[in-house]
Structure formats: structure tokens, C-alpha cells
Amino acid sequence: MLGGTLSAPTLLAFDRWNQTAPESRANSASILSEEQREIMARVTELIIPKTDTPGAIDVGVPAFIELMLRDCYAKPAQDTFLAGLGDLAGKGFLTGSADQQTSLLKQVEANALANAKAGSVSFWQLIKELTVWGYFTSEAGVKASFDYQPIPGKFEAIKIKPGQKDFMYGNQV
């Protein structure tokens, strides 16, 4: 499931992360303002809201996204992301009701789909991809969605019962 959500910019971000020295990653300054952080957190929570399972904010998705943007993504992707946050800020995203915010995000998604170009990445694609990635790479996100069994452990072939969660074993990609 997660493999299908990773785009070329994300795969390039992995490569950029591996080429960056650990000491420069630790000393990097934030690229987001406080308002941008608030918008990003609200958007992630609208993508994966808290229900009977933790939401995006509960598992630390906003911090994950900021880290990934700052340390792994190249400037063009960062600029696209910041422009998307700026667009939402300009449209009064934080002052709108939850319904207005959801409606605005549906419009952003529709525009991203209508204007999709091969080789380019939109703000919507970045934030949605990073939200899903951050959620499902967190322990709480995995435990909320799968019957998490950490490794080491033995393999047991079982039959999944109707309504039973699928299994997710730790340390697998």
C-alpha cells in the first residue's frame, strides 16, 4: 500500500537524505513559519483525522513533514510546498470552518488533478503523500491499522477472519 504512494520526488528525497552529512541535518533551520506549521497541521488532520484511531497530529505527522521537507527535498519541491501553504493562507484557511477547510482542500485537489503534468509535483501531491507516509511509518499509525507484530518473531500462517485487521510485521518495507 505504501509503495504505491511514493512518487519520484520522494524517492529522490531518500537519495538526497543519504547524501547529506548527519551534522548538517541536525543544524538545519526550520523552513516553515508558525502560520505555515498551523496550516500544515490542520491539513494533515483533515487528511487523516482522529477517530477511534489516532489522527495525523497525534502520531507526529507535521513534524515528520517539516523534517522531510527541510532535510530531504530539493528547493523546487520545497518552493512548491511553501507556495501551496501560502495559497491556503491567502484564502483564509485557518479562519474557515471545518467544512470550509474541507471544501477548499477538495478544490486544491481538483486543481492539482486538472493541472497535473508529467514530471511535476503539486502541493497537494506532496502534502498528501507525506501525510500518508508519515502516518504509516509511525508506530501508532501502524498499530492503528494493522495487527502489529514486532520482529523478531516466528512466522505463523493464519486465516484472517472477517473484520480482522491485516498483519504488519516490524522492520519490513
Could you list the residue range(s) of the whole structural domain that residue 126 is in?
A: 3-147
Q: Which stretches in the chain have pLDDT values below 50?
A: 1-2, 24-25, 172-173
Residue 154 lies in a domain: no
Per-residue confidence (pLDDT) for residue 149, from 0 to 100: 66
Q: What is the pLDDT of residue 144?
A: 87
What integer pLDDT is reported at residue 1 of this predicted model?
A: 44
Q: What is the pLDDT of residue 167?
A: 61
What is the model's pLDDT at position 157?
Answer: 76
For residue 143, give the C-alpha cell. 498499530
Residue-wise pLDDT tens digits, 21-64: 555 445 557 889 999 999 999 999 999 999 999 999 999 999 99
Rg of the chain over all Cα atoms, to the nearest angstrom = 18
Please give the pLDDT value at position 6. 56
Question: Got the DSSP string for 92-156?
Answer: TGGGS-HHHHHHHHHHHHHHHHHT--TT---HHHHHHHHHHHHHHTSHHHHHHHSEEEPSS----
Burial 112-138 (b: 16+ CB within 10 A, else e): beeeeeeeebbbbbbbbbbbbbbbbeb
Asked if residue 69 is part of any domain, the answer here is yes
- How many domains is the chain built from? 1
Q: Evaluate whether residue 156 is within a structural domain.
A: no
Quote the pLDDT of residue 37. Answer: 97
Q: Is residue 117 part of a domain?
A: yes
d(C-alpha 101, C-alpha 105), whole Å:
6
Q: Does 14 reside within a domain? A: yes
Is residue 97 in a domain?
Answer: yes
Q: Is residue 170 in some structural domain?
A: no
In contact, 32 and 40? CB cutoff 8 Å: yes
Q: How far apart are CA 41 and CA 38, in angstroms?
A: 5
| pLDDT for position 19 | 56
